[in-house]
């Protein structure tokens, strides 16, 4: 679709928010956010709060970019994968020269790692493996574009496949300890849902040591209301985990053996399962090695079984597992719906989850501005409509569910989520996250991944 560059606003009587953009104008604004956040080398996750490239943000950004410029979408993913570690890990941040974010490259100190890239500075952890999904989406969009875009997108999908395979192999080799089969994270940041109540119990066991070097946060100076961000106590733990990893020389085996935080993440595992499915499809199409395709099939099956095996016998909700304390984590959050992303749960569990998702405890809550899942159910104790990953709605999470539902053939459900996502974001601010009752944008505005998924929704048939 050609995006109209002129934007007009339109108020709607009775709206909880004063401004509402009609879809073409919203698409034009989203395109502008992506262009404005482009440094020429990367599209930063957000202009002030996140002035670097984040791993899963880059994947979503490439999907939105493909609607504007297939070549630019390809180069964004290529930039991310040029920073892939030699062991296969795709790092969670690829740093630009900007020093407005903490913790920056000096604090991570990944130069001590044997496997890090030489030409660029990165963090030393990873983020959810949604990249294969992005590559397939860019390919689909490229194929519907010009002959040149089609050829470029096909060449790109074929050429990047081995790097995606290496990334998935890394997750299996280093991050599936224990018998649950869940992919383990060693820092809450690896989940993408930084201070979700999912991590409260395992974080309580992280005791920052006396050797934690002093630091000054920058995020709270940028976000208008610091109480929307994680607390200083939480940051001490985040920083302590980095310190542990740095001292371990970013040696994955040592980290998994010793770090104070080791949790089987059910949401990451579900995304991994479905991303493996996507890689199998791409691998077959582009004639990749049959034994590698077979690996991916096996990894997808194992991951799906692990997600299904985590479901609570009464609620049906999928659960994370604290691998240090060896127990299930029963905190109910949007991650509990993970089996709906990847399939594999028994029919009765799936039906239970779907009806829970529709109920007034989640999308059917009568006071939600838009009927899309909040990060935590508004009916749960501890729900906070303004605090980071503890209640607000995230458009990218909505995109993932709408994408997965479409893929599973649940077109009506996918459409409802898409429409809800557009309604949530039609104020044109492209918030990082949204207060679910008022629709107030929170955190950063002009957040690239929000603009990107909105663009994808608006340009979809």
Which residues are part of the catalytic machinery? Answer: 194, 432
Q: Least Å distance between CB 242 and ligand 2M8?
A: 11
Q: Which stretch binds ligand 2M8 (CB under 6 A): 15-23, 49-57, 66-74, 336-344?
A: 49-57
**Contacting ligand 2M8 (CB under 6 A), which of 51, 64, 192, 436?**
192
Q: Which is nearer to ligand 2M8, 45 or 458 (CB)?
A: 45
Q: Least Å distance between CB 42 and ligand 2M8?
A: 13
Q: Least Å distance between CB 16 and ligand 2M8?
A: 24
Q: Which is nearer to ligand 2M8, 87 or 444 (CB)?
A: 444
Residue 54 found at the interface with ligand 2M8 (CB under 6 A): yes
Say which residue the tokens 């997808």 belong to: 300
Q: Which stretch binds ligand 2M8 (CB under 6 A): 137-145, 188-196, 284-292, 411-419?
A: 188-196
Q: Which is nearer to ligand 2M8, 92 or 131 (CB)?
A: 92
Q: Which stretch binds ligand 2M8 (CB under 6 A): 19-27, 129-137, 152-160, 189-197?
A: 189-197
Q: Which is nearer to ligand 2M8, 136 or 447 (CB)?
A: 447
Residue 399 found at the interface with ligand 2M8 (CB under 6 A): no
Residue 194 found at the interface with ligand 2M8 (CB under 6 A): yes
Q: Which is nearer to ligand 2M8, 54 or 337 (CB)?
A: 54
Binding to ligand 2M8 (CB under 6 A) within 199-238 occurs at: 219
Q: Which is nearer to ligand 2M8, 302 or 387 (CB)?
A: 387
Q: Which stretch binds ligand 2M8 (CB under 6 A): 135-143, 187-195, 207-215, 400-408?
A: 187-195
Residue 56 found at the interface with ligand 2M8 (CB under 6 A): yes
Q: CB of 157 within 8 A of CB of 282?
A: yes
- C-alpha 208/C-alpha 382 separation (Å) is 24
Q: Least Å distance between CB 392 and ligand 2M8?
A: 11
Binding to ligand 2M8 (CB under 6 A) within 66-105 occurs at: 92
Q: Which is nearer to ligand 2M8, 181 or 443 (CB)?
A: 443
Q: Least Å distance between CB 222 and ligand 2M8?
A: 10
- C-alpha 262/C-alpha 242 separation (Å) is 13
Q: Which stretch binds ligand 2M8 (CB under 6 A): 4-12, 54-62, 286-294, 359-367?
A: 54-62
By CB under 6 A, name the binding residues for ligand 2M8: 45, 50, 54, 56-57, 92, 189, 192, 194, 219
């Amino acid at each position: 679709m050609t995006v109209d560059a002129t934007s007009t606003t339109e108020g709607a009587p009775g709206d909880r928010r004063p401004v509402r953009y009609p879809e073409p104008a919203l698409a034009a604004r989203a395109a502008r956010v992506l262009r404005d956040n482009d440094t020429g080398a990367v599209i930063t996750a957000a202009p002030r709060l996140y002035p670097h490239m984040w791993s899963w943000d880059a994947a979503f950004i490439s999907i939105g970019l493909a609607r504007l410029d297939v070549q630019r979408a390809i180069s964004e993913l290529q930039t991310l994968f040029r920073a892939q570690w030699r062991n296969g890990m795709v790092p969670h941040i690829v740093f630009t020269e900007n020093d407005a974010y903490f913790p920056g490259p000096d604090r991570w100190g990944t130069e001590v790692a044997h496997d890090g890239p030489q030409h660029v500075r990165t963090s030393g952890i990873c983020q959810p493996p949604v990249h294969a999904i992005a590559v397939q989406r860019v390919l689909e969009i490229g194929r519907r574009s010009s002959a040149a875009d089609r050829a470029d997108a096909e060449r790109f999908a074929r050429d990047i496949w081995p790097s995606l395979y290496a990334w998935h192999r890394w997750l299996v080799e280093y991050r599936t300890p224990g018998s649950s089969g869940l992919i383990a994270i060693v820092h809450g940041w690896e989940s993408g849902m930084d201070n979700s109540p999912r991590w409260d119990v395992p974080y309580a066991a992280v005791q920052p040591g006396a050797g934690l070097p002093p630091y000054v946060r920058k995020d709270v100076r940028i976000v208008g209301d610091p109480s929307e961000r994680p607390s200083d106590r939480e940051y001490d733990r985040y920083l302590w985990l980095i310190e542990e990893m740095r001292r371990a020389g970013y040696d994955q085996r040592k980290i998994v053996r010793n770090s104070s935080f080791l949790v089987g993440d059910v949401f990451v595992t579900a995304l991994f399962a479905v991303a493996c499915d996507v890689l199998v499809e791409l691998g077959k199409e582009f004639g990749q090695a049959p034994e590698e395709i077979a690996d991916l099939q096996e990894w997808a099956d194992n991951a799906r079984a692990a997600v299904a095996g985590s479901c609570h016998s009464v609620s049906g909700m999928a659960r994370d597992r604290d691998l240090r304390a060896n127990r299930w984590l029963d905190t109910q959050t949007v991650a509990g719906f993970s089996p709906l992303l990847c399939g594999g749960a028994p029919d009765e569990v799936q039906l239970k989850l779907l009806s829970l998702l529709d109920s007034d405890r989640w999308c059917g809550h009568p006071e939600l501005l838009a009927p899309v899942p909040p990060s935590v159910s508004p009916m749960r104790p501890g729900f906070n409509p303004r605090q980071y990953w503890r209640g607000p709605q995230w458009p990218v999470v909505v995109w993932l569910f709408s994408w997965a539902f479409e893929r599973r053939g649940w077109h009506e459900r996918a459409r409802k989520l898409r429409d809800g996502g557009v309604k949530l974001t039609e104020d044109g601010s492209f918030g990082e996250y949204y207060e679910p009752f008022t629709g107030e944008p929170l955190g950063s505005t002009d957040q690239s991944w929000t603009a990107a998924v909105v663009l994808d929704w608006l340009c979809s048939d």
